[in-house]
Structure 1
């Protein structure tokens, strides 16, 4: 095997490892056993009935891009449907937004797509907790193998919490009442999982904001550099040195700016800026509401 082949193989190994550590530099408990055999498409959106016509007003001039999996109009639709009341976030459209963001990352190539797999495992966990709470209101919901790790009984009685996973604040309240959130050690909880998604959302928000910018000099920087900068000011603070180095390798493989034009069905940077700016504003509203809910409950640093 030549030097280039060995280098390529090493990069793939590093990125595979990165995919398993991405959101926190060591994801702790795995959810594969919990999610095995679970069809997350079954009933996932029954609680989410918002009309596309009603919530997509901000992008009414856009059409779905033919032949593409990622659809920016759907992402914007879900983001607009997520805010509830004055300060809450509905979990169904929130997770649907992540579905589209995962497709967005997958479209950027296999290197970044590895990262999206870990995010999918986390959205799947919250969905399963929600469905189990709805389906088995008189039974106990087991949170992984936590009891064997801590020596305590951490069964989650859901008889009075069938709507616990309707929104961010209802989930926080229910899991605090049921004492499944530990502020000193890792636990299998929806709140801890949400925090990891929340951190990743800030990274993507900043990245999309940077891609949307039109610099005064007129010189557009590469998406690879912009993604690296967004990462360095957000997720990197939660990662180990090794994961930070591996992340930089993943960003090198990002496509050029023209690819982003095609991805959202626009023709130039001005059009891209208009579309992404709307998406970034919608992400910002969801992020700020989630940030406030987590902060009020001292959950921004859950281990």
Structure 2
């Protein structure tokens, strides 16, 4: 009897060893991109995301409510939300520094999607660099910063609710102050292409609508049926937005880039969530913040007849 028990124990140990070896060998054939992240490295997403979703989204005395950082990722959705929530200012203006910082994170987001989409992000970086260079030049030019009476050109241009800001902020402090200054100095051409800040913002504005729509679609959870692929959603969002302003060649190149987009599991890992429910809560908050910035920009450009600058 003792002999039989020992033999049974030996067989059980061999069986466990074979199973372990089976999964060890199998792991060599599973791409790392398909493997889910270790749960120990995830922030408590569901509780934290629900707290974020139920927050007002307004920057208060304790600052904006955002997620913790996502370990191991260059793109940080927490930073994106921080910048987006800091961008709206006064009643209908947008601060350019957090606006451009939001684009810095969105560029990282696009680069994370692969080299083909990364090519699109390079064009975005070129445009954010133009505005930053214009801001630096204006700081070096006292005549560009000051009006005839020696006060900031921001006076009456979006800073009516902040007298102190109107005295110290430069012309590229906010969207409306930039529009006011460039219009006043004749830098905006409604007939020919120029590298004005207004024209550059318009191009970024159009791209922001594309990303907003893509993230909004990615957050959708159908009541019945399958989740659509990110590639399909991104292509559809592009066709409804940016494609209207691109040549045939650019449209074809963009759609080829979208084919190579990763599957949904990649996006879960990118923002450290465990599934579609958590992703929807988080992306809806991002889309809401983007929408506020987009609507303010749309209004400012529309009021100045700049939605169709060449």
Q: Would the aligned equivalents of 2:130 and 2:195 in 1 still touch at CA under 8 Å?
A: no
1:147 aligned residue: none
Q: Would the aligned equivalents of 2:89 and 2:95 in 1 still touch at CA under 8 Å?
A: yes
Q: Distance in 1 between matches of 2:262 and 2:287?
A: 20
2:172 aligned residue: 165
Cα shift readout 1:31-79 (whole Å, capped 9, x = no counterpart): xxxxxxxxxxxxxxxxxxxx9994431x3xx320111110001000000
Alignment of 1:231-270 (within 5 A): 231-270=238-277
Q: Residues 241 and 269 (structure 1 numbering): CA distance in 2 closer, same or farther, change over 3 Å? A: same
* 2:80 corresponds to 1:75: yes
* 2:97 corresponds to 1:92: yes
1:206 alignment partner, one of 201, 213, 222:
213
1:43 aligned residue: none
Please give the root-mean-square deviation of Cα atoms over the aligned residues, in Å. 1.7
Q: Alpha-carbon deviation of 1:158?
A: 4.6
Q: Distance in 1 between matches of 2:192 and 2:218?
A: 37
Q: Distance in 2 between matches of 1:191 and 1:96?
A: 17
Q: Distance in 1 between matches of 2:257 and 2:62?
A: 38
Q: Distance in 1 between matches of 2:260 and 2:111?
A: 12
Q: Distance in 1 between matches of 2:211 and 2:62?
A: 25
Q: Would the aligned equivalents of 1:183 and 1:302 in 2 still touch at CA under 8 Å?
A: yes
Query: SS at the partner of 1:209?
Result: helix
Q: Would the aligned equivalents of 1:55 and 1:80 in 2 still touch at CA under 8 Å?
A: no
Cα shift readout 1:154-211 (whole Å, capped 9, x = no counterpart): xxx4553571100000000000000010001101200000000000000000000000
1:130 alignment partner, one of 135, 140, 147:
135
Alignment of 1:110-149 (within 5 A): 110-138=115-143
2:297 alignment partner, one of 277, 290, 298:
290
2:110 aligned residue: 105
Q: Alpha-carbon deviation of 1:133?
A: 1.2
Cα shift readout 1:222-269 (whole Å, capped 9, x = no counterpart): 000000000000000001112111111000010000000000100000
* 2:55 corresponds to 1:56: no
Which structure has greater helix proportion? 2
Q: Distance in 2 between matches of 1:131 and 1:269?
A: 43
Q: Would the aligned equivalents of 2:145 and 2:170 in 1 still touch at CA under 8 Å?
A: no
Q: Distance in 2 between matches of 1:294 and 1:274?
A: 31
Q: Structure 2 length normalisation: TM-score?
A: 0.72
Cα shift readout 1:125-151 (whole Å, capped 9, x = no counterpart): 11111122123325xxxxxxxxxxxxx
* 2:201 corresponds to 1:194: yes
Q: Residues 93 and 52 (structure 1 numbering): CA distance in 2 closer, same or farther, change over 3 Å? A: farther
Q: Distance in 1 between matches of 2:213 and 2:142?
A: 40
5+ unaligned residues in a row in structure 2: which ranges? Answer: 1-58, 148-152, 154-168
Q: Distance in 2 between matches of 1:184 and 1:175?
A: 15
